[in-house]
Structure 1
Amino acid sequence: MLRRLALPVLSLLFLAAMLPTPTTAVAASGSKYGDARLDQWSWLTTHNSYAHSGAVPPRNQSREIPQQLDEGVRGLMLDTYDMTVSPEGDLDVMLCHSTHKCYGTFANRLGQIVDFLKRNPNEVVTIFLENYAGRASLTGVISGVLEGKNAKDLLFSPSQYDIDDRNWPRVKDMVSDNRRLVILQDKWGEDVPVKSTDGSKEYGRLMHTWSRTVETLYDYDGRPNGCASRTENPVGQNPMPKTALTPLFTMNQFDSSVLDPENKAPGDNGAALKKRIDKDCRPAAGRNPNYVAVNFYEKSDTSGVTPLSVVNELNRNAHVFAPHPALWTVTPNKQYVGQTYETSAPNRCMVRGDEFPEGTGGVVTQRACASPAPSSHQWTATPPSYDGKGFFWIKANNGNCLTVPANDGVPPGNDMPMFWWPCETRWSSGNQLWNIIPVEQYGGRRAYYFINQWTGKCLTLDPKTNSGKVGRVTQDVCPNP
């Protein structure tokens, strides 16, 4: 990734749309999920996961839920109903394909899911409930199963992570906390399905689907531009209204109106699936789908391409980088924002500080970002007036250049404070020249490392001084990509 980039004359404001995407996979960091949040990972999902037999209505899967989980499925779409199960009129929550055919109790399948999670402590499973059961009956079944299997804490808790204000947690933190069962429900049986963004239809840890997700229509038929949104929320919604929450994005790659889903599934699950993500749904949403929902997940018309392989490829290419003091984002108003995510000092920007007493140049500092951005907070990257061989000046709003101090001609080490200084016509040491290295955090969001041509070190937000009103901007060893 540490490569020189020959770029046209553009301010850094426009680099995000121009720089190539890196190809480095997510680092393990003790977990296969790296530092990805829940909304930054993709999961193979089955439509009508329980509907594995029968001709009327037609089945949507050929394998039962335990086998699906063993083979890599991590999202399950289930329809829950209150159904009479005895001559005396006793009710139970059943998994049914409309009211035509039922496939056993929800409690039984939920127990199988919990058993899988207990056997596989690094896995996370999401359940989407198209719910027609009452609140009391559904929550009673869920609590009964979890308590019976000594797994009450397995259920994801939105309040524990304060997701509306802080966004989704990292998946590896969910694994560490053992909050690995995510359940969303679209409505209560006694309710009509209405749009809600305030969580009013949530109940404890059961999240309301339309307050937390966006989703495509479920009548995809392979036509071009097939990424239309369901009416509840637009696919491109981000964040959810009045929150900091990135909605989970479900891409439905099936047509619910066909009479023979099994015959159609291979054509939906091969090259067409990959193409639809690349050409339609990623551009529409601005990011990869989190849940790729299909019928007959094991079938495909393309050699070497299955829904699982497509999802695995999405995750291999999900460049989610841990926050680092040498990682910067660039805002549309030309602010350079240090990516430390320190709770003591969020949103710290690089600022042109006080001028030196002699009247030439000054110090570069860090301060809390301001809106609107004052001129002292604004920087642009432009090629130098000579052949910089792909390196850039980083210029303050007053026309001066970001500079590593000359240090009597000896390249300084870590922690050297940065200056702003008149741009020189030519310094062979390269202390005003910067290599701009793009990294993709997720969903097209770009950040950058700035490597000084002279020292080979990275522009760094000094973490030791980022809790004060004014801190330092320094250089330090570049992070491993």
Structure 2
Amino acid sequence: MFSRSLWALSAFSALAFGAPLTRRQATVCNGHAELCDRLYSNVTYIGAHDSFAFSSDPLALARDQTVDVPTQLSLGVRLLQGQAHTGSDGVLHFCHTSCALFDGGTVADYLGNVKTFLDANPNEVLTLLFTNPEGADVSTVWKPIFDAAGISDLAYVPPSIPVNQSSWPTLGDMISSGKRVVVFLDAGADGANPVPFILPEFQMIWETPFSVTDASFPCSIDRINGPLPSEEHMYMINHSLNINIIPIGDGVIVSDPADAPTTNGVDSILANANGCVPLGANRNPNFVLLDFVDQGDAFTAADQLHGLASS
């Protein structure tokens, strides 16, 4: 009784005199104690390309995943990527190229699933990277959806933009502060009405080419914006192999599920990562974006890039 009363008195005194209460310090971060002291920008995250576009139907050529978002997260995916379009109902959906081709449902429902995962896993840092090809307004379209899902309060807001690669907080600090979701948008985040937690991707992340059909995954910087030089960006390798099913004209490029166990294997991922290291200021990639994340052994590859024993 005495110790409980003493704690209550201390808490009251701290609040009364403006002293902050000590936050719980994270001791396990994204599954590993060893990652807690690493900067967010010095960790490699396995990502799901078109995470919403899942189907078990092998004839669904527009799919890029075979398992749903909750399953992707349970496997260890910590970067979710999606492409947003306005659906026929006038609200934002995640769709592959167009909602007529593959409609993955509303962004609101998607973020509801993400919030469920975050609530159940308080020691996880998650990155959301969305494309905005129709230029939906971040303040009037995107932000209300994040607000309604309850994710805005969990989103990290940097002190200034862009963030230099060496200036991100540690995973432990992000988890302890409760700001453990990082949101990037490929276009529109730096417009006239910015939202502090919706960050312009290419000012802080460069990407390798996408729609790759060469299994050797030659590395080059494909998309990047200033003002930071490339070596002060984080970077993402688009490590998904595609096939051209109609090799006439521009052809028709689709993901290759048959090769996914090899593409998502340790050897292929490490070879791609090592090929990009010279362009990434001798650092490993921050994000490895994959199709069919349930195939192969990508999470072992990430452990090896971290110098950790496989979990």
* Mapping of residues 74-85 of structure 1, within 5 Å: 74-85=78-89
Tell me what 2:72 maps to: 68
Q: Match for 1:97: what amino acid?
A: H
Look up the match of 1:262. Answer: 257
**Residue 115 of structure 1 corresponds to which residue in structure 2?**
116
Amino acid at match of 1:113: V
For 1:316 and 1:165, locate their aligned partners in 2 and report how far apart those are by CA, in whole Å.
20
Q: Pairwise CA RMSD of aligned residues?
A: 3.0
- Equivalence for 2:236: 250
Asked if the contact 1:82/1:132 (under 8 Å) is kept, the reply is no
Please report how far the alpha carbon of residue 155 of structure 1 lies from its aligned counterpart in structure 2 after TM superposition.
1.1
Shift of 1:133: 4.3
Q: Is the 8 A contact 2:231 2:279 kept in 1?
A: no
Q: Render the CA deviation track for 1:387-424: whole Å, top value 9, x for unaligned.
A: xxxxxxxxxxxxxxxxxxxxxxxxxxxxxxxxxxxxxx
Q: For residue 207 of structure 1, what is the amino acid of its counterpart?
A: L
Structure 2: 5+ residue stretches without partners: 1-24, 245-253
Aligned equivalents of 1:39, 1:260: Cα separation in 2: 28
Q: Paired residue for 1:203, among 153, 173, 195? A: 195
Output the amino acid matched with 1:284: L
Say which structure is richer in helix. Answer: 2
Post-superposition Cα deviations, 1:67-93, rounded to whole Å, max 9, x if no partner, equal 1111100001100011221xxxxx100
Larger Rg: 1
Indicate which of 45, 53, 67 corresponds to 1:51.
53
Q: Deviations over 1:332-351 (max 9, x none)?
A: xxxxxxxxxxxxxxxxxxxx
- Map 1:26-425 onto structure 2 (within 5 A): 30-31=27-28, 32=33, 33-53=35-55, 55-85=59-89, 91-99=90-98, 100-136=101-137, 139-140=139-140, 142-159=142-159, 163-164=163-164, 167-188=167-188, 199=190, 202-224=194-216, 226-232=218-224, 241-242=227-228, 246-258=232-244, 259-270=254-265, 271-278=267-274, 280-285=275-280, 286-300=282-296, 306-316=297-307
**Residues 220-243 of structure 1: per-residue CA shift (max 9 Å, x gap):** 33454611221435xxxxxx6358
Offset at residue 144 of structure 1 (A): 3.6
Q: 1:167 to 1:211 in 2, by over 3 A?
A: same
**Structure 2 residue identity aligned to 1:38:** Y
| Cα shift at 1:135 | 3.5
Report the Cα distance in structure 2 between the residues aligned to 1:63 and 1:184, rounded to whole angstroms: 23
The answer as to whether partners of 2:215 and 2:241 remain within 8 angstroms in 1 is no
Distance 2:76 2:144 in 1: 27
Q: C-alpha separation between the residues in 1 aligned to 2:268 and 2:92?
A: 36
Q: Decide whether the 8 Å contact of 1:219 with 1:256 is kept in 2.
A: yes
Using CA pairs under 8 Å that are at least 6 residues apart, name the structure with larger relative contact order, 1 or 2.
2
Identify if the C-alpha distance between structure 1 residues 139 and 263 changes in structure 2 by more than 3 Å, giving closer, same or farther.
Answer: farther
Instruction: Report deviation, 1:257.
Output: 4.8
* Structure 2 Cα separation of the partners of residues 309 and 165 of structure 1: 24
Conserved in 1, the CA contact under 8 Å of 2:26 and 2:175? Answer: no
Aligned residues, how many? Answer: 264
CA distance in 2, matches of 1:166, 1:315: 17
C-alpha distance after superposition, 1:317-346 (max 9, x if no partner): 59xxxxxxxxxxxxxxxxxxxxxxxxxxxx
Note if contact 1:39-1:246 (Cα within 8 Å) is conserved in structure 2.
no
Encode CA deviations 1:232-276: one digit per residue, 9 max, x unaligned: 35xxxxxx6358993221111113454452112122111222222
Q: Evaluate the alpha carbon distance shift between residue 287 and residue 159 of structure 1 in structure 2; reply closer, same or farther with a 3 A threshold.
A: same
Per the alignment, residue 439 of structure 1 pairs with: none
